[in-house]
Amino acid sequence: MKALSKKRRHPLAAVALLLFGLLITGSLYTAAGNISEAKAAETTAASQTDVDEGQKLFVANCATCHGMRAEGSDSGPSLIGVGAASVDFQVGTGRMPMQMQGPQAQAKPAQFDDKQISQLAAYVASLGAGPAIPDEEYLDTTQGDAAHGGTVFRVNCAMCHNAAAAGGALTRGKFAPTLTGVSEKHIYEAMATGPQNMPVFNDSNITPDEKRDVITFLKTIEANGSAGGAALGSLGPVAEGLFTWTAGLGIIIAFTIWLTSRPS
Amino acid sequence: MTTTNEYQATTSTGRIANFVDSRVGASAIVKEFGRKIFPDHWSFMFGEVAMYTFVLLLLSGTFLTFFFDPSMAHVVYDGSYVPMKGIGMSTAMSSTMEISFDVRGGLFMRQVHHWSALLFVASLSVHMLRVFFTGAFRRPRELNWVVGGVLLIMGLAAGFTGYSLPDDLLSGNGLRIIDGVMKALPIVGTYLSMFFFGGEFPGEHVIPRLYSLHIMIVPAVIILLIVIHLFMVVTHKHTQYPGPGRTNDNVVGFPVGPVYAAKAGGFFFIVFGIVAFIAGLFQINPVWNYGPYDPSPVSAGTQPDWYIGFVDGALRLMPGVLGNFSFEWHIPFPWGTNTLVLSVLLPALVPAGALFAVMFAWPWIERWVTKDNREHHLLDRPRNAPFRTAMGVAGVIFYSVMWAAASSDLIATHFHVALNDVTYWLRALFFIGPILGFWLTRRICLSLQRKDREIVLHGREAGIIQMSPEGGFSEKHEEIDVYKRYLLTNFVDRQYIPAEPDAAGHVSRKEKRRAMISKFFFEDRVAPVTPSELEAAHAAHGHHEVEGDKQDSIEK
């Protein structure tokens, strides 16, 4: 110990200390990252035939933009390492193949059946480790906590998706879609992969259990409906004000005309 | 004074009634007020709607005070709404949740209260627009116009203080903006904010303070102003639209008792019914969706209630920087650098301030420009006052552009346009819109006046096409009846009044300015048809119709 403290004024001590610190931070980060990545690697146990079939589908339908080996091109990003969850979400909600170039890909009826989607996902997952399709246990809303999910949702999601998950505007024509009618699996995958302009909420940011809570919250408010009557789109005071000025005043004006009318 | 004429009641009910009446003089009051005449027109009833929704607000508000607890003490929610169970919140929010889900009829009463608040300010605004566009604010009603304007401001105050009470995320964000605007005020800003919130925002005092204002001070002021407002209406008598038999010295309509009282009483219950219908079927302010207030999150679609929207919109429209010019000024003082945040200060205070200043001053502006100091009890048709109608429309557009800006995000998502483009367009419209609106409205008014002249002079188009013996086609015109003609030819003809010298023969600069505005307002005008013009037109028609319609020419 004394030997070490003697060298503390050495010209290279600062450099050594810095290297040591960086090494520790780096190892911790890798370790933390691996915890979430490890799960992804485990579940991609797809057969080689699925991967081959997926590759055929990929070449026929996706390669124009994403490149023959999914390496990306000017019109589409690289898909190496995006994981099976990403493919399942994008293709499963019909966002891919993309309807048209625009501020962001729009949801439409899915173009592939479940088997084809899983084959595509298997192929893309084989190119590099990424978030996997979530286990059933994380989609089971009977195990989730709606109240905690609501808090997580309000802090992380409501600024774009609206407090009642009705959707909202982003810049330059982009938007956060409504979450009503979106399946549990797709909600989870969206959080894990961050499609379009959405940030990635990985497992160290929002844990799988919390993701389940968020899904439970969304499904609860969807099932509950609106307590006070027609929700007017859950858009807040603008819809209420519009209703006041059109329907509310409209009915009142109809009555004032009736009251002041005279038989003539 | 003997008792020879004293009324002797024969029944016991009559005796009791007579006993009371001979002591309080009710029959004299009924005799006086019962014979008060009110003219009948649907557009005269918005003030009534405002009053009735205010009564509804008092009734439903009283119910809510039985259950609402305006404390900001921290509690953990344990009511029946599952997605909120176990969440920490203020007592105010928790008792709002309790009213909504655990008090019988509580949610309905909350919705009645909120919907009638929205309708209260809406009907107040429409009433005010009616008064403006028909010129009902002219002498002797200028002060009542001001009282009405103050009532509008108090309506906004009542609305905003009430909107903030549940201490939910949505209203908390609104208070955060108020806090931001307060802090942007130079020198006094931070002190003001600290006093208002009782420390650093959000603190633990603001909800109880707003509650005191909301349930005592503001309603009391509103009631007082309503009394003054109605007292002045009775003193001035009601205005009426022009028409045959309606002059500046009479009022044509129904007496209060029994017709008008019955109508008005019935109308109260109709308004009550409409609000109850809406409150029963349409959800408003679902605080359980927004969640308890927490200074960190702001959810999408965060807007104030509609009547505060225009201020929110102005804030949204204001750019922080313009090219290289920043609206955030750092002013170096000897004691350090102070910041002046014009990008908050300007939009929050200037447009609303300008709007209300012009609104309050308008009766005097108009009197000064037109030199018209007569009493007016007959209303203007909006087309017959093109300058005023155009100014009003310019004001409405100015307001509406800011109002629309408050919903820029929803315009973007629902009409599939880019949010940025919505903002750019509205910024342009903020400046161009009122000018365009003024010009267009004045042109439309003048055209309508010309059309009126045309109808008076040549009759209305009958829709009957006649063929002359030569084979030419012409449309037959029917002369309008005298009542209609009276309406179309009798209106205040405002003309350009050039600058006039005062007693000393000097033309003041102020007078020159007045003349300039007068010229701008009245240079283009359409004069009402004069009797001689009418005579000439009829004579010309007589000539015409000798060939065509013999019967017509014989009548003349």
Predicted-complex ipTM score:
0.88
Kindly list the residues from chain B whose CB atom is less than 8 angstroms away from the CB atom of residue A147.
Answer: 82-87
Residue A152 contacts B where some CB pair is shorter than 8 Å: no
Kindly list the residues from chain A whose CB atom is less than 8 angstroms away from the CB atom of residue B301.
Answer: 162-163, 166, 168, 235-236, 238
Residues 6+ apart with CB under 8 A from B194: B200
Residue range B396-409, pLDDT digits in tens: 999 999 999 999 99
Taking CA–CA distances from B84, the nearest residue in chain A reads A147
Neighbours of A42 (CB within 10 A): 10
Residue range B208-261, pLDDT digits in tens: 999 999 999 999 999 999 999 999 998 888 888 888 888 888 888 888 878 888
Q: Which of B122, B170, B307 sits opposite A248 (nearest CB)?
A: B122
Verify whether the Cβ–Cβ distance A240 to B42 is below 8 Å: no
Say if CB B284 and CB A233 are below 8 A apart.
Answer: no
Which carries the bigger pLDDT value, residue B542 or residue B43?
B43
CA distance linking residue A120 with residue A58, whole number of Å: 6
Q: How far is CA B525 from the centre of its chain?
A: 28
Say if CB A140 and CB A210 are below 8 A apart.
Answer: no
pLDDT at res. B547: 43
Q: Which of B86, B122, B304 sits opposite A237 (nearest CB)?
A: B304
Taking CA–CA distances from B86, the nearest residue in chain A reads A147
Taking CA–CA distances from A235, the nearest residue in chain B reads B301
- Residues of chain B with pLDDT > 90, as a percent, come to 61
String of DSSP letters for B216-250? IIHHHHHHHHHHHHHHHHHHH---B--BTTB-TT-
Neighbours of B237 (CB within 10 A): 16
Verify whether the Cβ–Cβ distance B169 to A154 is below 8 Å: yes
Kindly list the residues from chain A whose CB atom is less than 8 angstroms away from the CB atom of residue B111.
Answer: 228-229
CA distance linking residue B202 with residue B177, whole number of Å: 11
Residue range B446-502, pLDDT digits in tens: 999 999 999 998 888 888 898 989 989 988 888 888 888 888 888 888 889 998 888
Verify whether the Cβ–Cβ distance A237 to B299 is below 8 Å: no
Which carries the bigger pLDDT value, residue B334 or residue B440?
B440
> Residues 401 to 430 of B: which have CB under 8 A from any A CB?
406-410, 412-413, 416-420
Residue range B35-78, pLDDT digits in tens: 888 888 899 999 999 999 999 999 999 999 999 999 999 999 99
CA distance linking residue B252 with residue B264, whole number of Å: 17
Kindly list the residues from chain B whose CB atom is less than 8 angstroms away from the CB atom of residue A222.
Answer: none
pLDDT at res. B552: 43
Verify whether the Cβ–Cβ distance A244 to B115 is below 8 Å: yes
- Please state the rounded mean pLDDT for residues B131-156: 95
**Sites in chain A below the pLDDT cut of 70:** 1, 33-46, 263-264
Q: Which of B84, B170, B283 sits opposite A232 (nearest CB)?
A: B283
Residue range B295-327, pLDDT digits in tens: 888 888 889 999 999 999 999 999 989 888 999
Q: Which of B42, B270, B420 sits opposite A171 (nearest CB)?
A: B420
CA distance linking residue A199 with residue A192, whole number of Å: 9
CA distance linking residue A80 with residue A61, whole number of Å: 17
CA distance linking residue A113 with residue A111, whole number of Å: 7
Neighbours of B66 (CB within 10 A): 10
CA distance linking residue A134 with residue B62, whole number of Å: 52
Residues paired with B474 in a beta bridge: B466
pLDDT at res. A7: 75
pLDDT at res. A33: 66
Kindly list the residues from chain B whose CB atom is less than 8 angstroms away from the CB atom of residue A244.
Answer: 115, 118-119, 122, 306
Verify whether the Cβ–Cβ distance B291 to A154 is below 8 Å: yes
The values of phi and psi at residue B524, to 5°, are: -90, 120
Q: Which residues of B444-481 are buried (b: 16+ CB within 10 A; e: fewer)?
A: bbbebbeebbebbbbbeeeeeeeeeeeeeeeeebebbe
> pLDDT band at B173, cuts 50/70/90?
very high
Inform me whether the pLDDT recorded for B546 exceeds 60.
no
Measure B150 CA to nearest chain A CA, in Å.
22
Verify whether the Cβ–Cβ distance B418 to A160 is below 8 Å: no
Residue A143 contacts B where some CB pair is shorter than 8 Å: no
pLDDT at res. B4: 60
Verify whether the Cβ–Cβ distance A232 to B169 is below 8 Å: no
pLDDT at res. B493: 87
Pairing outcome for strands B336-341 and B254-255: unpaired
> Pick from A185, A216, A59, A35: which is nearest to A124 by CA?
A59
CA distance linking residue B172 with residue A77, whole number of Å: 41
Residue A172 contacts B where some CB pair is shorter than 8 Å: yes
Residue range B183-200, pLDDT digits in tens: 999 889 899 999 999 999
Kindly list the residues from chain B whose CB atom is less than 8 angstroms away from the CB atom of residue A175.
Answer: 412-413
- Please state the rounded mean pLDDT for residues B352-356: 95
CA distance linking residue B447 with residue B490, whole number of Å: 17
pLDDT at res. A35: 60
pLDDT at res. B551: 43
Q: Considering the entire predicted model, what is its pTM?
A: 0.87
Say if CB B447 and CB B390 are below 8 A apart.
Answer: no
Measure A217 CA to nearest chain B CA, in Å.
7
Measure A258 CA to nearest chain B CA, in Å.
8
What is the end-to-end Cα distance of chain B in Å, rounded?
Answer: 65
Residue A227 contacts B where some CB pair is shorter than 8 Å: yes
Residue range B492-519, pLDDT digits in tens: 888 899 988 888 888 899 999 999 999 9
Measure A158 CA to nearest chain B CA, in Å.
5
pLDDT at res. B542: 60
